[in-house]
Chain A
Amino acid sequence: MDILTQQLINGLVLGSIYALVALGYTMVYGILELINFAHGEVTMFGAMICLAVIGALAGSGTGLNGGTIVLLGLLAAIAVCMAMGFLIERIAYRPLRRAPRLAALITAIGMSIVLQNLAMLIWGRQYITFPPLLPLVRYELAGAVITNLQIFIMMLSCLLMIGLLMLVHKTRLGRAMRATAQAQDIAGLMGINTNTIISVTFVIGAALAAVAGVMVSAYYGLAHYYMGFMLGLKAFTAAVLGGIGNIAGAMLGGLLLGVIESLGAGYIGDLTGGFLGSNYQDVFAFFVLILVLIVRPSGLLGERVAERA
């Protein structure tokens, strides 16, 4: 089996999930200049709700086939997460729109803690497994193995990203979003209801996060109330890597981070003569991030450096 191709495939799958989550961070940052720390938790809720629905439907003997059940779970997760995104913005961020940015950062952290512990109260501390509802098919590709699930994840992410780009660049709503990101007050003067636009941004980001959460739990077969934290961190890293506030940058950053991580984990043992093992995978991601930011402080595709601290 060809290790390079295999790690590339794994990296691209992981990266497309990172990219979906990173989009939520970057869209919110582009408009509000706020790190939405609770975004990772929304992803976790997406996974948990999907698993709860699947668990309820698969056990009750409704006679639905596996694919339909997973689809229903996914739709339920998207719906709940969209509502969550809306409520998070309303409760924790809107009252602080004109406050110093660190204050909003603290409410974001508070929101993240609340959601994490809420999930722990509802679903407990144990790992929840994804039931084997979908038949796993393995294909041979250039000496590596790729599963139908991996293909599905990559294709769905691609579709969603293309859809988002179309939405932002081709529709009226997208134009309003870009205007709000550029100058909120001026956009308001032009007749755009900026509050609605900000809410819509949060809702879209949350929907993408829900899809990503379901993908992660299906891919690894597990979900846990703590999973959102590291995933959110990686996704935010990806967003910064690509240039935060830039939608195409988030996609590029996510894919790149996924590939770097898998290649790093696959080769670090050989490169260092066995001194460092694959448990340094996370170091690798952060190390690359720091290097990129030192060479190019605004990220790969970012245009402007944030002036205000």
Chain B
Amino acid sequence: MKNQNKNIYRALLILSFIGMNLLIVFAIGQIITYLNTGADKSKMLNLSLKSESSYKPHLIWSDTLNPSRPLEKPTQKRVAQDYLNAWYVREVALATNEFKGIEDYYSQSARDKFEELLNHNIQAQTQIEGTSLNHNLKLEFYSADGQFISFKDQNVHESQRIFSAGNMVLQQTIEASYRVIMLLEDGFWRIRQLVRIPQQNAVKTSDQVVLKEIPEQIKGINYYPQHHPWDTFGDTFEASVIKEDFKKIRALHFNTIRVFVGYEDFGKAEVKQEKLDKLKKLMDLAAAENLKVIVTLFDFYGNYSVIDWSNTFKHARTVVTALKKHPALLAWDLKNEPNLDFDSRDKGLVLFWLKNHLAHLKDLDPNTALTIGWSNAASASLITDEVDLVSFHSYEDFESFKRSFKELRAQTSKPLMLQEFGLPTYSGIWNPMGADEQDQTAYYTQFLDFTNANELHYALWTLYDFEQIPTEVVGRLPWRKAKQKHFGLIDKNGTAKQALKNIQELQD
């Protein structure tokens, strides 16, 4: 017994000795690692600090002629970038009431003036969330030694949300012109003078803009490929699959499809060319099948804050300019179900965002119809003047749909579109009393009879049942996902549901 105890003590002693040693070695290792972190030779010259700018209003040099010295391309770029940075730091300062970055982009006297203004706002507890959306620079003078530049910035659109003691008092978009003098000081072009000058009235072209014709009745379907829904333009993009799908859709006597452009998926402000190419390809395929396309922009976008607008404008500009001449294009749908963001993002802000973006789209492409895919008819009445087609979604029963449709019809004379509707054929553990295929057939019969009788444009949700639903679409809850998987006219095995056989007749 005694001997055994002794052995245990011995073992313990030896083990703790080894353990202590291990700990000491580990500790020394940690210290050495710590001492070796920090300064990295490759970062000595700050070369790796080049960050991507997050402020991207549309800037063009409309004129670089001046009586003094020709403006070199690199200087042109530098001045433009520093000028935008100057705007950015000022917008941030006005929004946060802090002075960060101002001294990098404003010379001493300009800084003094701005600081006085900001102090005034700090005292009055005023905050301005704002952004400029476009800059149209016209060079006036660039000095012989390349240290002094003066230019006009014409018809700048600025959107602002003004807060007093935390409460929003006004949101507005104004247009103004500026004369700017900048000096090259220790490598930065800094603003010396920034003065708002009287606007030269832009010459408005008096040509009547003709809107592209909308089909007499849009008989549409919301389209996602069966195997990668919500990721139409991803790596799995397969033209042959889409072509087959479009043939099917055409055979069912649909004349329109609705597709979705994800804001982040397409690369945010810097739209990826490959994504655009895929979208173009899809539209080419649609055109070949004589289908029109409603393109829904800004899918899964949810920021809306004013300082981000220069990015969303840039995104819209790239997509719209690339596709506005496409023969298959029927309408731009600015945003899918923006009213769902009212609670989390402030209704006023979302509406302000929508109105400004509608105006921007109209400006970029006056010939194509605009719409917003509201998730219910009640929200659709919020913006009717600025759109050409009032769209809403309905997953309610027929009676409540009829009621909300009548209410909306009474409020606007614009064409209406039931842009998403459908019934999932799901009954299972999460919904034992769910609809079956017969119910779906009845549902479509009822709805399509109504839309045809009332000349209401429509688009079904959707062609296929899906196997995977991304979490961003309906959240994590399995009963929601299960429902979302079964809206199709064709089930996941490719078998036609009952409703499919009737669709063609119902549409004619």
A-B interaction: no
Q: Which residues of B are at the interface with A, using a C-beta cutoff of 8 A?
A: none
